Amino acid sequence: MSELAKIASNNLRKIIVKRSITQEELANILAVDPRTVRRYLKNGIDKLSTLELVAYRLDLDVIKDLLSNGSVK
């Protein structure tokens, strides 16, 4: 897993906890299987298209919210 994939995974985990979204709810929001969400959280997100989808569906900024080491929304 790349360093950016790890950062995205960690930030996504923080965002769903902060927003009180379950993995199953996130799967519904993203229109993916819950196992896919678990993979995103465990293995990270390497594909830009997936990061863009997550950012769009959660009203986030890919760089600022998903790929930065700073604070999350």
pLDDT band for position 14 (cuts 50, 70, 90): very high
Q: Which amino acid is at 45?
A: I
pLDDT at 71 exceeding the cut of 60: no
65: three-class secondary structure by DSSP: helix
Domains of the chain plus CATH, in order, are 3-66 (1.10.260.40)
Half-sphere exposure for 71 (CA within 13 Å, toward CB): 1
Q: CA 72, 65, 46, 54 torsion: positive or negative? A: positive
Q: Are 62 and 12 in contact (CB under 8 A)?
A: no
Give the confidence band of 70 by pLDDT, cuts at 50, 70, 90. Answer: low
